Structure 1
């Protein structure tokens, strides 16, 4: 008896699911897609700074250059505890074993600054300290996740406007959205290169001045696909 009770129940569920699918497919609809995009200025700039004893031919130790670097950064009111991290520590052990010379050490740091002007100042003061291996690692926008949500909403609104414009000449009414797909959200950031190019040195002066240029903006775009029922 249990088998006979179970089978009709299963059949009823399957039939109901099929009916739902059939009704959905029979609904007349309009499908459209839309893109919303914007440009934002990066507010998190990561610089890669490498100090190595080979740059000074062993005349200054890594520890000495590290101390000089930290003092220069603090002179710019940079919080080295929060903004400076050690990303790599290496030594040239191969030369040590093969030539039996002193190991020439190097350290690589990651420094976080918040605008192009600060990046230029960092490169300037570190150049004064004999540290010139400064590269742009990456740039970010701190409000990226919130911005993506805003762009998705804007793309949905644009898709609705497009659908209304397409149905108006047909004298048909646009119904509710019956399908929404977040097709793609892209972050396009092409900025990459050497930070020292951001600096200019004034003639007849010892001070460095940041060049009047800014980082390239980051492009963010969101694409959606929406199906609206037609009434």
Structure 2
């Protein structure tokens, strides 16, 4: 029993010594730096919102006819109407007038194209069949997750380079990273019906290439490096 207590005491003493000898990273000499990185890229998913309205009148085309013409036009532009055209909303309202009752129907579509030139051609095609209620809903990139990861890696590398530069200037070195914190990942811009395009030239045979503002993703990472 005595031997067991002695062994336990020795083990406890060694453990306590090890804990005292091993500093917490907060107690170590360190340099804290912030690394930043940003990347701009062209959107390859352009969402076009189209609203078809129908008034129960002989002078108006029915929504079904507008829809048929629209789909034919989009197919002629090489757009996959089964994959990249979808109905977002369908509504009908009864409007009571003094002399008549009108049934107002509306149908909202979302069209996805992958470059500015195709987007321009879509707007011109819609104008040709009398559909003017169309707008850019939003812009996205199919590789956004890849870009996010890339800017994070570049940001932490920038932090390492900054730490090395600062410590070398005073004759020391930056060692291993003791703490890493992702502070910010920011994307710009966000579009919500802010970009409008309407064909103005009558009889135009081709659409101008729409040049959208590049999307941007930024990352900020804070890192603490041990000073050697």
Whole-Å separation in 1 of the counterparts to 2:168 and 2:99: 83
Match of 1:215 among 207, 212, 224: 212
Three-state SS of the structure 1 residue aligned to 2:218 is strand
Q: More displaced, 40-49 or 68-77? A: 68-77
Moved over 3 A (4+): 18-22, 54-58, 96-100
- 78-87 vs 55-64, which deviates more? 55-64
The 5 Å alignment of 1:134-213 reads 134-189=134-189, 191=191, 192-197=193-198, 199=199, 201=201, 206-213=203-210
Give the whole-Å Cα distance in 1 for the aligned partners of 2:208 and 2:112: 19
Q: Does 1:111 align with 2:111?
A: yes
The corresponding residue for 2:120 is: 120
Instruction: Quote how far apart the aligned CAs of 1:43 are.
Output: 0.4
Distance 2:21 2:188 in 1: 41
Give the structure-2-normalised TM-score.
0.84
Contact 2:120–2:210 at 8 Å: present in 1 too?
A: no
Matched residues in 1 for 2:106 and 2:43: separation?
30
Unaligned runs of 5+ in 2: 1-7
Once residues 155 and 194 of structure 1 are traced to their aligned partners in structure 2, the CA distance between those partners, rounded to angstroms, is: 31
Give the direction of change, closer, same or farther, for the CA distance of 1:213–1:103 in structure 2 (3 Å limit). closer
Larger mean CA deviation between 74-83 and 56-65 belongs to: 56-65
- Structure 1 residues 82 and 26: CA distance shift in structure 2, 3 A: same
Structure 1 length-normalised TM:
0.83
Q: 1:215 to 1:61 in 2, by over 3 A?
A: same
Q: Distance in 1 between matches of 2:98 and 2:23?
A: 77
TM-aligned CA distance change 1:224 to 1:126, over 3 Å: same
- Contact 1:200-1:209 within 8 A present in 2 as well: no
Q: Hey, what's the Cα distance between the residues in 2 that align with 1:81 and 1:98?
A: 42
| Paired residues of 1:201 and 1:208 also in contact (CA < 8 A) | no
* Cα distance in structure 2, aligned partners of 1:68 and 1:80: 12
Shift in Å, 1:90: 0.9
Query: Do 1:119 and 1:195's aligned partners in 2 also have CA atoms closer than 8 Å?
Result: no
Q: What's the RMSD between the two structures over aligned residues?
A: 2.7
Query: Aligned equivalents of 2:35 and 2:57: distance in 1?
Result: 57
Q: Does 1:84 align with 2:85?
A: yes
